[in-house]
A and B are shown apart, each in its own frame.
Chain A
Amino acid sequence: MIVEVERVSKEFVRGEQRVRAVDDVSLSVGQGEFVTMVGPSGCGKSTLLHLLGGFLEASSGTMRVAGNVVSRPGPDRGMMFQDLALFPWRTVSGNVGWALEVQGRPARERDEIAERYLQLVGLRSFKNAYPHELSGGMKQRVALARLLAFDPAVLLMDEPFGSLDAQTRELMQEELQRIWSETRKTVLFVTHDIDEAVYLGDRVIVFTARPGRIKADIQVDLPRPRPIEVKKSTAFFDHRNHVWDLLRDEVLRARAEESA
């Protein structure tokens, strides 16, 4: 098991209020598994990702990645942020090679690696462009290339395709699936989109409404490789409906809490 989460809880304190985002969550992920996490808004799934990334400290419990206790951010757990966090003052190539830069790798090596990964995501001809010149989908691909370029053991992805239009999103899902089959990284992927979760994942983890606990851990036994047409199959449908049924109660519960 490369990722081990043991009884992790996270509580946020804002003045007088205490909010329990994550409640006693335990989870194990094996090498090369693609795990997707779904849940209603505010259920703590993104928080769990940030905890694993080392950006937040758990209130209780432990987390281990490749045997090491998680305590601070580091390149072994590469994160793709919701807002992508591309550096607007660097070119595409500069962004992709950034991690290698701070690690002190020589310029020629960096450029080579950056080009390789830009080629992988199909953006090699844009290596000298700046982020603000790119469309949403292109920025996504740059962020993905940047993430892969420093070869993290685990990929943490926080609703990466959330801000894309439906068409681009489908293309990106297929692309990600293709890239993953080539690299076989361990991935933890947070999303709102159930179709996406089932399409991409080997396992789908369903979270409850806040405070977030694991409600279900579902194996997706759809064959790999998975071209996008898989989404039309009955098997896909069954999995998807199964997840939705589990999720529906939680979504309604979260909604009720909001209007309480």
Chain B
Amino acid sequence: MRKGLLRIAWRASSVLLVLAVWEGISRSGLVNPRLFPGLGAIGDEFVSLFTTGLIWEHLGATLIRVAGGFSAAAIVGILLGFVMARFALFGRLFEPFFSATYPVPRVAVYPIFVLAFGLGHLSKIALVFLECLYPIAINTYYGTRAVDRQLVWASQNMGASPRQVFWKVVIPAASPHIFAGLRIALPVALVIAVITEMIGATEGIGYLVAYAAASLSRAQVFAGVLVIAIVGFALDRAITLARDRFIFWQRPGVAIG
């Protein structure tokens, strides 16, 4: 019993330590108290964000951009990955392009998007789309190529038409990889949305936090960061759950025989 409690305490220790240190610094007067709002002040700000309804307008805007860019990238990316895998020529044309430009920070073209689409949703959705496209397309491409040849042969052996082979075998077999791509892309969508909002926007969570920093409402900055953290966490949970439901056969099972 004691060992169990000790384990839990040790596990939570790092998180508690950080919180304790934080509160300590805040109260000690060592640092300018305005730079280090206490946990209480942050908590108050956090709550007021919700009670004043301020948060919904901004959070909503950010989520629209995340959802819009991500879903567009998912549709186009998966299709593109399939085409690249199915038609070797496409693969040879596009794959080196993707690999080469992967490490290039595509965020840098955001100002061009702003010039083209303005400061509203579209420029941000466009960048989110561009960024998310990469992991989704590449993972779909590799996943489709990696489908076990014997699975395809077995289905053909059993009389499946090319269409049936594609829908009933290739897609399920490639889905773990496709999901891996989606899982990488979702947090990217959030990061990019927040970045673009901090660089130039009129609403959005990123804008809110940047504005709060600029107008010296420090506790609000931390409260806003906390909101972003929660959103990021929630999205990660969501996609993990989705994955577990879809790719159920890869969860380790106990052999019966």
Contact = CB atoms under 8 A, between A and B. Distances in A.
A150 B154 CA distance: 12
A138 B257 contact: yes
Interface string B240-251: 000000001110
B153 interface: yes
Interface in A57-106: 72-75, 77-79, 81-85, 87-89, 98-99, 102-103
B176 to A, nearest CB: 10
A252 interface: no
A160 interface: no
Which one of A55, A73, A137 has the highest number of Cβ atoms from chain B below 10 Å of its Cβ?
A73
A81 B255 CA distance: 22
Interface in B71-123: none
A126 interface: yes
A89 B255 CA distance: 16
A73 B156 contact: yes
Contacts of A40: none
A81 B249 contact: no
B160 interface: yes
Given A99-B158, A102-B155, A102-B160, A134 B256 contact: yes
| Chain A: number of interface residues, binned into ranges | 35 or more
B228 to A, nearest CB: 36
Interface in B140-185: 148, 150-151, 153-161, 164, 168-169, 172-173
Nearest to A74: B159
Majority secondary structure of chain A interface residues (helix, strand, loop or mixed): loop
A103 B158 CA distance: 9
A135 B255 contact: yes
Contacts of B253: 130, 132-133
Given A77-B157, A102-B159, A138-B256, A85 B249 contact: no
A130 B153 contact: no
Contacts of B148: 83, 85
Contacts of A82: 150
Interface string A130-171: 111111111000000010001000000000000000000000
Interface in A25-41: none
Contacts of B173: 87, 89
A53 interface: yes
B1 interface: no
B257 A98 contact: no
A129 interface: yes
Nearest to B151: A85
A98 B249 CA distance: 17
B154 to A, nearest CB: 4
B249 A73 contact: no
Interface in A114-138: 126, 129-138
A53 B256 CA distance: 33
Given A83-B148, A87-B169, A102-B159, A133 B153 contact: no
Contacts of A55: 153, 156
Contacts of A134: 255-257
Given A81-B150, A85-B150, A87-B172, A133 B254 contact: yes
Given A132-B249, A133-B255, 11 more contacts: A55-B156, A79-B157, A81-B154, A82-B150, A83-B150, A87-B169, A89-B173, A102-B159, A132-B250, A132-B253, A135-B255
What are the 9 closest A-B residue pairs judged by CB atoms, nearest first?
A: A135-B257, A99-B158, A85-B154, A73-B156, A85-B150, A75-B159, A88-B249, A102-B160, A133-B253
